[in-house]
């Protein structure tokens, strides 16, 4: 009989590289940076680690789309014949690496393991992400459908459903980006570290109408890592460890955008993963009970819709309940993406899910890199990570908290 994972596994160390356009660092440099910081934070040595879950969509082989095996990590860190499992769920990869590590510990297969997410995106020679999928899976169906193009359809649909004029809708999204940049500017490890104004966001070049430049996250290099053990062993490593309260993981049936009854204004996989995670963690009212949320905001519209689909506010009420009240700021009622989010902290595909947990972990420990970003008294936080596109997501919701 399956059992709840709640509080069975603890995170005792985490590391995260500086995110950004890391012209100075290759994928091996970043794996080492994140792993070393995590080991140091946990007070362990690499040779103590018994198994690794490595999350990466492409590694550094974005253009060629090369397969990345676990040897990427073993050959970099010179681990000696321990298992390295490579997991991949597109942009939702990071949550998957943590989940694999957690369940292996709960199954008592190991005592001390590492989860690591990494992506080297900026060796390609052009801006944006490549359309490697044209012809890869379907020769002609969905050709030229990019991330921005697909997410932007959700913005158009949201504006239409809730009667927002294009200008009002754009302004609502701009306020989200202003917040993301506000916190990115305060975060030393963030990729985009410049504050922007609503006017700047509105006047920026168009990427995929209605989303402009500042509605989109950058393309980022980075890595993040976590050291985990069973909770009964956690005290050996540190007193201020955090525990896993729940994993919700849902792969959608995948034909949302092709279904007449899907309107693009909610993320069904997020709703399913959130419901599962809340049930496991015993959360009845997420807005009240969660002290902070790091959610998957690769685009401004993604933050809006994820906030509703994680039930942080009522459906269709983001403007009133999140934006107008500034509830999503660090001193607000429901702090969201105080790291700067994927939008400003950066989004190295396979690293993001683990990086989101890093932010919650640091906030619980009151170690936000810059004190003005510290949220008061965090006991329970959520990391939301998804891969795919509107109508076809795989989503991981990870709830962590003080034990």
Partner 1 sequence: MAGIVSYGAYVPMYRLSRAILGQVWGGGGKGEKAICNCDEDSITMAVEAGVDCLKGMDRKSVDALYFASTTAPFKEKQSASIVAAALDLREDIVASDFGNSLRCGTVALKAALDAVKSGSARNVLLVIADCRLPAPNSAYEPLFGDGAAAFLIGASHVVAEIEASYYLTSEFIDVWRLETDRLPRSWEERFILDEGYEAHMKKAFNSFLKARNAKGKDFTRAAFYAPNARSHQAVVKILGLDPKTQVEEPLFDSVGNTGAALAPMTLVAALEGAKPGDKILLGNYGDGADAHALLVTENIAKMKDRRGIKTYLKSKVMLENYGKYLTFRDLMPSEETPMTRPRTSLTAMWRDRNWVYRCHGHHCQKCGKTQFPPQKRCMYCQAEEKFLEEVPLAERKGVLFTYSMDERTAVIDPPNILAAVNLEGEVRIFSQMTDRDVKNIRVGMPMEMTFRRIHDALGVHNYFWKCRPARD
Chain contacts with partner 1 (rule: CB under 8 A): 63, 124-128, 130-132, 134-136, 138-146, 148-157, 160, 205-211, 253, 255, 257-260, 262-264, 391
CB closer to partner 1, 157 vs 402: 157
Least separation in angstroms between residue 361's CB and partner 1 is: 35
DSSP character at residue 37? H
Give the active site residue among 91, 216, 217, 395. Answer: 91
CB closer to partner 1, 83 vs 254: 254
Least separation in angstroms between residue 129's CB and partner 1 is: 10
Q: Are strands 242-251 and 392-401 parallel, antiparallel or unpaired?
A: antiparallel
**Rounded Cα gap, residues 122 and 385, in angstroms:** 21
Least separation in angstroms between residue 131's CB and partner 1 is: 7
CB closer to partner 1, 38 vs 211: 211
CB closer to partner 1, 70 vs 130: 130
Is 347 among the catalytic positions? yes
* Cα–Cα nearest to 372, from 341, 397, 400, 338: 338
Least separation in angstroms between residue 152's CB and partner 1 is: 3
CB closer to partner 1, 16 vs 250: 250
Least separation in angstroms between residue 62's CB and partner 1 is: 9
CB closer to partner 1, 256 vs 348: 256
Instruction: Please classify residue 79 by burial: count the beta carbons closer than 10 Å to its beta carbon, then call 0-12 exposed, 13-18 middle and 19+ buried.
Output: buried
The count of C-alpha atoms lying within 13 angstroms of the C-alpha of 371, restricted to the half-sphere facing its C-beta, is 0
| β-strand partners of 266 | none
| DSSP symbols for 260-289 | TT--SSS-HHHHHHHHHHHHHHT-S-HHHH
Per the document, the length of the chain is: 403
**Cβ(347)–Cβ(91) below 8 Å:** yes
Least separation in angstroms between residue 119's CB and partner 1 is: 17
Q: Where are the beta strands (DSSP E) in 231-379?
A: 242-251, 292-294
**Rounded Cα gap, residues 146 and 131, in angstroms:** 7
Dihedral, CA atoms, 402, 277, 391, 292, nearest 10 degrees? -30
Give the active site residue among 181, 296, 347, 384. Answer: 347
| β-strand partners of 382 | 293, 399
Q: Are strands 222-230 and 9-16 parallel, antiparallel or unpaired?
A: antiparallel
CB closer to partner 1, 262 vs 329: 262
**Rounded Cα gap, residues 320 and 13, in angstroms:** 38
Give 66-103 as a 3 state SS string: CCCCCHHHHHHHCCCCCCEEEECECECHHHHHHHHHHH
Token pair listed for 86: 């490579």
Least separation in angstroms between residue 158's CB and partner 1 is: 9
List the catalytic residues: 91, 347
């Amino acid at each position: 009989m399956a059992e709840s994972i709640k509080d069975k596994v603890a995170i005792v160390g985490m590391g995260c590289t500086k995110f950004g356009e890391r012209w100075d660092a290759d994928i091996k440099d970043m794996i080492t940076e994140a792993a070393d910081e995590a080991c140091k934070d946990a007070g362990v040595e690499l040779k103590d680690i018994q198994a690794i879950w490595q999350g990466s969509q492409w590694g550094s082989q974005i253009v060629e789309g090369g397969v990345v095996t676990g040897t990427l990590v073993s050959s970099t860190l010179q681990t000696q014949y321990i298992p390295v499992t490579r997991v991949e769920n597109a942009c939702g990869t990071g949550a998957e690496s943590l989940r694999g590590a957690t369940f292996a510990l709960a199954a008592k297969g190991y005592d001390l393991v590492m989860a690591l997410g990494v992506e080297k995106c900026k060796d390609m020679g052009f801006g944006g992400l490549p359309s490697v999928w044209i012809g890869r899976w379907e020769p002609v169906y969905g050709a030229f459908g990019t991330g921005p193009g697909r997410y932007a359809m959700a913005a158009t649909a949201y504006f239409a459903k809730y009667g927002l004029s294009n200008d009002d809708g754009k302004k609502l999204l701009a306020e989200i980006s202003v917040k993301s940049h506000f916190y990115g500017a305060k975060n030393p490890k963030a990729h985009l570290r410049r504050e922007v104004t609503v006017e700047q966001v509105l006047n920026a070049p168009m990427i995929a109408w209605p989303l402009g430049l500042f509605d989109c996250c950058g393309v980022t290099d980075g890595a993040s890592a976590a050291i985990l053990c069973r909770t009964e062993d956690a005290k050996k490593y540190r007193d201020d460890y955090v525990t896993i309260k729940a994993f919700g993981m849902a792969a959608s049936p995948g034909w949302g955008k092709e279904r007449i009854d899907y309107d693009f204004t909610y993320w069904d996989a997020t709703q399913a993963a959130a419901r599962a995670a809340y049930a496991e963690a015993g959360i009845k009212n997420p807005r009240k009970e969660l002290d902070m949320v790091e959610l998957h905001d690769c685009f401004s519209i993604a933050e809006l819709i994820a906030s509703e689909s994680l039930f942080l506010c009522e459906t269709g009420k983001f403007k009133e309940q999140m934006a107008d009240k500034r509830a999503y700021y660090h001193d607000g009622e429901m702090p969201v993406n105080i790291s700067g989010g994927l939008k400003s902290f950066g989004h190295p595909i396979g690293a993001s899910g683990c990086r989101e947990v890093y932010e919650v972990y640091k906030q619980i420990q009151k170690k936000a890199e810059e004190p003005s970003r510290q949220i008061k008294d965090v006991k329970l936080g959520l990391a939301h990570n998804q891969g795919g596109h509107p109508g076809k997501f795989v989503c991981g919701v990870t709830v962590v908290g003080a034990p």
